[in-house]
Structure 1
C-alpha cells in the first residue's frame, strides 16, 4: 500500500461500511408490506416529514460535485465561482409556490414524474415523452459527476484505478435496488452531519492556521493580480453571465427529476412550505464551501496530479490530521452516494412511467412498473460508471453544463403549466425544439480556454456564450441556457397565438383547478394503494 494514507483510508472505509448497512436496513424503515409499487419504491411511500424531507432534498441538490467543484472554480477563477451562492438563495422563493402546486396535483392524480403531469395537463404524449427524455439525458452526466467527487478523494488518499469506484457503485446499486428512495433518505442524515461538521471545523481551523481571513483574501487577490485572470470582484464583461447563470441555474434546479422526486416524497404541502424556509441554511454552508478555494490559495495547496477537482481534498489533507481528513473525505464520498441514488431512481421512474408504460406496455401493473424501475436504476448506474471510465472527467463536467441548459427547456410545460394551460400543446413542442437547438448551438460555440487564453478545445467548453457572436458589438457573455430559454418562451407564445387563432385542437385538460390546492386531508388526495393488491392481473394500474 505504498503511497496510500492508511489512516485516512481506514476512516473512509469505516464510514462507507456504516452507510452501506443503513442502505440495506432502509428496506425495513417506515416500509409498507412490500415495495413493489412506484409510490413505495420510487417515492418512499409519499410520507416523509419535515426533517426527513429537509435532509433528503438537501442531500439531493448539494452534491459531492458541489463540494469539490465550487471551491475548485473559486480557486481558479475567483468571484465567478460564487454564482452558486446567490442562485441557491433566490431559488427557494422562486419555486415555493411551484412545488406545493406540483405536490397537490401529483397526490390527487397519482403522478410520479413531471412528465406524468405534462401528459395529463396538456393531453400531449409527445410533450410528455420529450420531458422524460430531457430529464433522463440531463440526469445521466449529473450522476457521473458524483463519481468525480469520489475519485477526487480516493486520488488524494493515494488510491488509484477504477476498481474502488466500481465497487462503491455496485454496493450503491444493490441497496438502492433493495430499498428504493428510503435508502438515500436515511443515509442523508449521516451525509449532512459529516458535511456540516467538516465545514464548521474547516472555517474555524484553517483560517486560524493561515493567520486570519485578511491573509486568506490577501493571498487570493495577489494570485489573481499576478495571473491577470479572475479576481475577488467580477469584471464588467462577466456580470451579465454571472447574473443569468445564477438565475438560470435557480430555475433549472427544481426542474431536474431528482429534485421533483424529493418534493413528491413529502407527506404534505406544509412539509414543503417549512422546507422552503429551512433549506437556505444550506446556502450559508455553500458560501463557506466556496471560500475553501481562497483558503487553498493562501495555504499554497496544489491539486493532486494537476486535477483541479482534488484541490479541496488536498487542502484537507494538508491542514488536518489524517483521522479528521478521513472524516472529511467520507463526507465527500457519502455526499456522492446520496444524490447518485436519488438521481438513478428519478431517471428510472421517468423511463418506467413515460416510456415503458406509455409506449411499450400500456397495461403494466404497479408490480411490473416497480420491477422495471428497479432494473432501469441499475442500468442508469452502469451508464454513469461507464461514462467516468471511458470519458475524460473534464468532459463529463462540460456535459453537466449541457444538462442544465437543456433541462431549462422543460420550464414552459412543467413550471408555467402548473399555473396556466393557455400555452398550446403544439406550441410547447415547437418551443422545446427551438430552445433545445439554441442551447446546443450556443454551447457548441463556446471554446474551452486554457492559461493565457489559449483555446484548449474548440467546442462545448463552457456555458458563457458571447453576445458578439450574435452580431452585437460587445464582449459581454450570457449563460447559454438562459438565452435558449428566452428563445423557447418566444416561440411557444407566438406559436400558441397562431394555433389558437387557427382553432387547432388543444386536447382535454386531465386535471381540475381544485387539484392544485389540495391538502393531505382533502378527500381528493389519493390514499396509497395496498401493494399486495397490485399483483399482475389484479386490475388496472393506478394513475
Structure 2
C-alpha cells in the first residue's frame, strides 16, 4: 500500500467532493426542481465556465489513461485521437450553433427532444434517447476503469468483488453530490481538475525525457522493444491499419457531439458567442492530448509492466501511466497525479450520468409513462435515473473486460453514430422521411452490434466477444455475401454501420413518399435555427411551434 500517494489522493478527492456538495449554492437558482436548473445549470454558463465544463467532459480518463495505454500496446494507431480532435471543432461549429438556437427557442433539453419536435415522431425520439443512454454506459465505465486503475496502483487490488469495493465507494460519493447539485457540481469541479491535469502533464513531458534520455531516445527504445516482440505494436502504421486509422478518426469526430453529454455542455451555455469562443479555444486540449499520448512511449522506454488485476488475474493495461508516475515521481507528486486522473474521471462521469438521466426523464418517462409530469417531478425522476445509470456503468466494469479500455468508448461511438441522420443532418434538411430514419437506424444498429459481438477479445485464439471496434474487410457480409473475401485491411465498424444506415434511409425515403406515408409535423421554423435568445414567454414559443406545423403541412 502506497500510503503517501493514497493520502494525497484521498485529501484531494475529499476536497472536490465537498465542492460537489457545495455547488448547489453556486450561481444559486430559485429552485433546483427543474431540469433546466438541475440538468443544464440554468442555461447561463459563460465562456470560461463552458470551456472548463466541455473540456472536462470531452477530455476524460479516455485521454489520461486509455490513449497512452493504446499507444503502449499498439503504437502509432493510438495517435488517431489527434487528427480526430483537430477536425472535430471546425466540423461541428455550425451544427452546434443551430442546435443551441433551436433548443433555446423551444426549451429542448436533449437531442431526442429536438428530434421529437422536428419529425413529430415519438418512436424516433425514443430510439434516439435509448441509443444515447446505451452509448453513454460504456463511456462512463471507461471513466470508472481509469479511476480503478489509479486505486489499483496505490495498492487497492484485492480479488473478486472486494477488488471493486473502492470503486463502489467513489461511485457512491459521485452519485450523491450529482444527485444534489446536478450539472453545477462537475462544472465547479472541472476548474480543479483542469488545473491539476495541466500541472501534472507539463511536468511529465519535460521531466520524464530528462530521466529517459530525451524523446528521440524514448521513441527509438519503443521501436526496438516492439521489433523484438510479437505484440503487434509499431511506430508506423502498417498496410492493414491505415484505413482503420482514418475511419476511426473521422468516425470518432462525427460521434463525439452526438453523445448526449457533449450536447449537455453546449446547451448549458448562455449564448452563441460562448460556443464560438469555445470551438476556438478547446483545441488547446488537443495539444495536451498529444503530450499525454507520448507517455505510452515513455512507459515502454521505462520498462513499465501493467499491474495484474486482482479481480480477473489479467494484466490491466490502464495502469500503464499510473505505474510510470509511481516509478518516476516522488510519492507526493505521484499522489497529485493520481488525484488529477481520478478527478478527471469523476467530472465527465457526472456529466454523462446527468445527460443520460435527462434523456430518460424527457423522452421515456414523460413521453410514455407520465405525460402530465410537472417540472419538479421531472427533476426528481432525473435525479433517480442518474443513480441507476452510474450503477449500470459499474456493472459494465465488472462484466466487460475488453483488450483496451479505449474500446469501451469506441464501441459507444459505433452505437451513437447511428443517430447522426436524425440529429445532425436534420439540423439542415428534413428531406429524409421519419420512417426511413427508423429503418436506417435499425439496420445500422443491428449490423453494428452484431459485428462488434463477433470481434474476439483474444485475436490469437478467436475467443470472447466485444474485443474491439475494427474489422477486416474480408469479414464484411451482406446476407451471407462477402464482396471482399481476401482483403485483410481493417476498418472501423462504426463507419460501415453508418454508411448502411444512410443508404437505407436514402433509398426508402422516396419510396415512402410515393406510398403516401405520413411525414409528421415540424414544430420548428428556419428562424429558430438562428435565434440568439429564447422567446420572452410561453405564448411566443407556442406560436413558433404552430407556425412550424403549418409550414410542414
Take 1:479 and 1:392, find their aligned partners in 2: how far apart are those partners? 20
Aligned to 1:250: 253
The one of 335, 347, 355 equivalent to 2:364 is 355
Aligned to 1:292: 295
Aligned to 2:461: 455
8 Å CA contact 1:443, 1:459 repeated in 2? yes
**CA-CA distance at 1:276 after TM superposition:** 0.4
Q: Residues 268-347 of structure 1: matches in 2 within 5 Å? A: 268-305=271-308, 306-347=315-356
Aligned to 1:5: 2
Whether 1:505 aligns to 2:524 is: no
TM normalised by structure 1 equals: 0.93
Q: 1:392 to 1:476 in 2, by over 3 A?
A: closer
Q: Residues 66-215 of structure 1: matches in 2 within 5 Å? A: 66-160=63-157, 161-215=163-217
Take 1:332 and 1:201, find their aligned partners in 2: how far apart are those partners? 15
SS at 2:424's partner residue?
A: helix
SS at 1:236's partner residue?
A: coil
**CA-CA distance at 1:500 after TM superposition:** 1.7
Aligned to 2:390: 381
**CA-CA distance at 1:166 after TM superposition:** 1.2
SS at 2:491's partner residue?
A: strand
**CA-CA distance at 1:52 after TM superposition:** 0.5
- For structure 1, the 5+ residue unaligned runs are 529-543
Structure 1, residues 52-86: CA drift from partner, whole Å, max 9, x if none? 10111111111113211110110011000111111
Q: 1:527 to 1:148 in 2, by over 3 A?
A: farther
Take 1:370 and 1:304, find their aligned partners in 2: how far apart are those partners? 42
The one of 204, 215, 227 equivalent to 2:229 is 227
8 Å CA contact 2:70, 2:406 repeated in 1? no
Take 2:496 and 2:81, find their aligned partners in 1: how far apart are those partners? 19
Aligned to 1:515: 528
Structure 1, residues 463-500: CA drift from partner, whole Å, max 9, x if none? 11111123343111110000000000010011111112
8 Å CA contact 1:79, 1:232 repeated in 2? yes
TM normalised by structure 2 equals: 0.92
CA RMSD in angstroms comes to 1.7
Aligned to 2:471: 465
**CA-CA distance at 1:391 after TM superposition:** 4.4
8 Å CA contact 1:446, 1:461 repeated in 2? yes
Whether 1:424 aligns to 2:433 is: yes
8 Å CA contact 2:138, 2:408 repeated in 1? yes
Aligned to 2:544: none
Aligned to 1:535: none
**CA-CA distance at 1:233 after TM superposition:** 0.8
Take 1:45 and 1:371, find their aligned partners in 2: how far apart are those partners? 16
- For structure 2, the 5+ residue unaligned runs are 158-162, 309-314, 477-483, 542-553
